[in-house]
Every structure is written in structure tokens, then in C-alpha cells.
Structure 1
């Protein structure tokens, strides 16, 4: 959490964040702080939010490959997807080389460490 605070303070963001743990309040708080810092003007064109386990990975990767429109970055918030509990090789391979303009925020209840 200290790293997230520092990233928000400096404006130097990572390309992917994983928020997990038993403190639901803290996860929600940091999720909102990150989204607000990455998407300060509530840009709906370059921000996408997915929730649940029924996310098509190919569709997600296609969206990730879409350049932002009149913005510096595309922000994709994914909640309770199960990607970190159940193996998803296609997404894992894609995440090895994320585009510079992309920021993924994962908020998960269960993570297989």
C-alpha cells in the first residue's frame, strides 16, 4: 500500500496493480484512489470496468490493445475475476509485455500465492 501511495504522489504509475486481502475497506479505498489518480477527469472513453468471472480474456486483450483516445493512458479496472485463483495462461503471457499506455487494476478476493 505504501508503494501505491508513492505512485499516486509522484505520478509514476505501474502498468498493473493487484489489490487483494481480507481488508475490504482498504481494498476499496485504494481502488478509488488509484482510479481517481489515473483517470482524474472521469474519462469514460478510456476507462473500462469489469466485474465477475465471466470475462472473455480475448475480448479483454483486444481492449488492452486499443490505444487511448485523446488521453495518455487507458485504465481497465477488473474486480473479482478469479484470474489469480484459477490459472489463465493467455492473460499471464499477455501481461509479460503490456503496452506503455495501459494500466490494469485488479481487485480480487482470492489470490493463489
Structure 2
């Protein structure tokens, strides 16, 4: 995965998503983002997101800013609701403590 924080590398579509992200962040900063929050874009997927120094990720889901997860074992990426039900990551999730997804814990 290649990411950028340089706005000159971000297209018009991604700039609009950036505006939506920052507006949502201003209205209601998520409690799962800590210090060192900055904007990033995945240059392969086009995803624009906020991330902190602990690598927590926030993305837009409709008009809401939500935490976004990625599986360190299989690389699957999804919102918490999708992550819990996605068949591709169920085997990995069974090895995690019940509250691991909510707290961003790594697998056991």
C-alpha cells in the first residue's frame, strides 16, 4: 500500500472526500483517534482517511465518520459492522478477544 499526505497528489474526487472528512471531524471528533491526527490517501485504492500516531483510522461511511479496521493477518479492510460479518476474516476474528475490534487490539 502506498499512501500520501500531499494535497497535490490528491484528485478532485478525493479533495471532496477530504472536505467531508474534515467537516465531520469538526462537528464531532471521534473518540478513537488520539494524538497526531493527519489526513492520508491510499494511492492504489483512492481511499482518503484520517489516521493518528497509533494507526487508528477514520473514514466516511455515508455522512458519518467511522473507525475503519484492517486485519494484520489477511489484509482485509472494512468498517466494524462489515468486519464482524465478513466471511474472509471470520477465522481470524475467532482468535481475538470479544472487545478487540472496539479497542483496536491485535490478534492473540
User: Shorter-chain-normalised TM-score: which range?
Assistant: under 0.3
Tell me the TM-score normalised to structure 1 length. 0.25
Q: Rg: which structure is higher? A: 2
Tell me the TM-score normalised to structure 2 length. 0.25
